[in-house]
């Protein structure tokens, strides 16, 4: 993982800033560019003056203690914070692949297809392993079984889960172990071929063996995706 990635540090009671051991991260052609971002939950400022570039095909980690703003910043990248009343980017800009994601012209639904997310706790749907992975494609209108079969297999292989589940795709996702469920959620996220993959403490609820498998998977995923992860440890 990229060991010079920025850390978020508490500056005042409600403010955070981005620092790095070698200074601000800057790349000539970044996947994500954050410039002078302030973020508020109502009257409370949660982020202050955040600026950084995130390079393509790397794993960039936001590291810091609870409550310092890591997850808030991560969720700015797919506008998940829009779902919270009174939450907003109050200054600055965020560009992904050159697009200002807070522009009125940006469809948040389309943005969230391009910027996939894996949460702290695995959240498989109450359906089969197959349908969990196929869900995003079905929502997008894909009905051809051959295409669905191909993408499900490809995504499960990409999430290092295919060999463990290929003979029970019709079984409930709830029958998988915690680590397998988290890798299933990664497969579901990559099935729609996002440009960026966000991970909010994806290993925090896993045992050491499952954590190792997910961490190894994250390292492999950077060859195909820009990966941004929130974690307390590296």
Domain ranges across the chain: 7-231
Average pLDDT of the chain? 85
Residue partners of 56: CB distance under 8 A and separation at least 6: 29, 30, 31, 226
Residue partners of 219: CB distance under 8 A and separation at least 6: 1, 59
HEC letters along 146-186: HHHHHHHHHHHHHCCCHHHHCCCCCCEHHHCCHHHHHHHHH
The residue that leads in pLDDT, 234 or 196, is 196
For the stretch 157-182, pLDDT in tens is 999 999 999 999 999 999 999 999 99
Say what the pLDDT of residue 2 is: 41
Say what the pLDDT of residue 233 is: 63
Could you please state the CATH topology (level 3) that the domain comprising 7-231 is classified under: Rossmann fold (3.40.50)
**Percent of the chain beyond pLDDT 90?**
57
CB atoms within 10 A of CB 126: 9
Could you tell me the two tokens for 130?
């197959």
**Shortest CA distance to 3 belongs to which of 219, 220, 213?**
219
DSSP lists the bridge partners of residue 50 as 37
For the stretch 77-131, pLDDT in tens is 999 898 888 899 989 999 999 899 999 998 888 898 899 999 988 899 999 999 9
Say what the pLDDT of residue 120 is: 86
Say what the pLDDT of residue 20 is: 35
For the stretch 49-61, pLDDT in tens is 999 999 999 999 9
Residue 47's SS3 state is: strand
Say what the pLDDT of residue 11 is: 28
d(CA 3, CA 7): 10
């Amino acid at each position: 993982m990229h060991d010079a990635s920025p850390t978020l540090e508490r500056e005042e009671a409600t403010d955070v800033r981005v620092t790095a051991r070698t200074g601000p991260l800057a790349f000539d052609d970044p996947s994500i560019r954050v410039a002078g971002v302030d973020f508020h939950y109502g009257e409370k400022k949660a982020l202050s003056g955040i600026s950084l570039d995130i390079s393509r095909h790397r794993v960039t980690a936001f590291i810091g203690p609870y409550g310092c703003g890591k997850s808030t910043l991560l969720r700015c990248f797919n506008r998940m914070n829009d779902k919270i009343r009174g939450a907003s980017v109050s200054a600055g800009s965020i560009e992904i692949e050159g697009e200002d994601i807070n522009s009125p012209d940006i469809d948040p639904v389309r943005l969230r297809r391009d910027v996939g997310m894996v949460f702290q706790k695995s959240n498989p749907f109450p359906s089969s392993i197959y349908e969990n992975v196929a869900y995003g494609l079905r929502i997008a209108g894909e009905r051809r079984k051959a295409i669905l079969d191909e993408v499900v297999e490809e995504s499960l292989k990409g999430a290092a889960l295919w060999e463990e589940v290929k003979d029970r795709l019709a079984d409930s996702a709830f029958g998988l172990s915690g680590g397998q469920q988290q890798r299933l959620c990664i497969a579901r996220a990559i099935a729609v071929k996002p440009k960026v993959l966000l991970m909010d403490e994806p290993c925090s609820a896993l045992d050491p063996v499952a954590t190792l498998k997910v961490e190894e998977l994250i390292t492999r995923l950077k060859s195909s995706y820009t990966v941004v992860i929130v974690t307390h440890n590296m």
